Amino acid sequence: MFGRCFSFLGRLLATYLSKPNRRYRPLATGNPARLAAVLAPGDVLLVEGNTRFSTAIKYLTQSTWSHAALYVGASTQLPARDRNDPPVLIEADVIEGVRAVPLSAYATMHTRICRPVGLSEEDRRKVVAFAIGSIGKTYDLKNVWDLVRYLLPIPPVPTRWRRRMLSLGSGEPTKAICSSLVAQAFQSVHYPILPLIIVRPAPTRECNDCVSERYMIRHHSLFAPRDFDISPYFQIVKPTLEGAFDYRTLPWDDVELVSKARRSHLAHAGSESLAGEKLRVQCS
């Protein structure tokens, strides 16, 4: 009885947190066709996001990115509802669980491509297979307290605790930030994201003070979308620059009109500043 009640409350809360913010305006958007042409299986697509979840995650991680999805490309294992817009991304959604979505789902949002460098074709297939094999996994929404942390868009949490806050609770709903699924896919082939580096003594006959570095995998629940952006093992791919980019061919507005608009703006700002200065003098 209690389990059903908590599951119902969890679904209501998750639905509320997943609603998009109507005031959202992306910083920049790319051409969807150009994005599709550049993406390759194994790429991580970071998304700015426009939901209440996104606002909290961006604050907690101090990053532009709130969502991560793995690009797997068109596959016969992913049934397509629309042949012209097939599912090519695997992501984790707090309500629907792990699912496949088309690229058009993020066509109007600010995105970034993070590409693993040097990943072998065999391991690339394993990463993709891991993600596809995870489709259908869901979250235990009875753990309502795992979702409550996202109610405050800017929770009063000290900086050193913010990342830990994402991994509190049962462990399942924390995957709602989606980077856990992507991190697990890469960790399944031991591809590094942001590994812990441990320095240990390694004396030799020639060097008694020599040390060696050992890599240690972080728990997948501690990863955030921004980690793929700052990882030294992922290359940032910008679709605009992958083609024949030439700034001289950009269709700029007339320079004279822009200059006039700028002079008008500066004159208006100057008059406001002068009026404010006079008011301060009168008040004093």
Task: Identify the CATH number of the domain in which residue 143 sits.
Answer: 3.90.1720.10
Contact of 193 with 223, CB cutoff 8 Å:
yes
The pLDDT of residue 209: 76
270 lies in the same domain as 151: no
- Candidates 151, 176, 179, 150; CA nearest to 165 is 150
184 lies in the same domain as 279: no
Q: Count CB atoms within 10 A of the CB of residue 98.
A: 20
129 lies in the same domain as 53: yes
178 lies in the same domain as 92: yes
148 three-state secondary structure: helix
182 lies in the same domain as 262: no
97 lies in the same domain as 230: yes
The pLDDT of residue 20: 76
Show pLDDT as tens, one digit a residue, over the chain (284 residues).
655 665 667 677 777 777 777 776 666 667 788 899 999 999 999 998 888 777 777 777 788 898 999 999 988 778 777 778 899 999 988 888 899 999 999 888 889 999 999 999 999 999 999 999 999 887 766 555 566 666 665 666 666 655 555 554 445 544 545 788 899 999 999 999 988 777 777 777 778 778 776 766 677 777 888 999 999 999 999 988 887 888 888 888 766 655 665 666 566 555 545 445 443 434 44
| Domain encompassing residue 271 | 252-283
Under DSSP, the state recorded for 154 is S
From residue 56, how far is each of 65, 157, 182, 274 by CA, in Å?
11, 11, 20, 40
54 lies in the same domain as 134: yes
234 lies in the same domain as 259: no
pTM above 0.95, yes or no: no
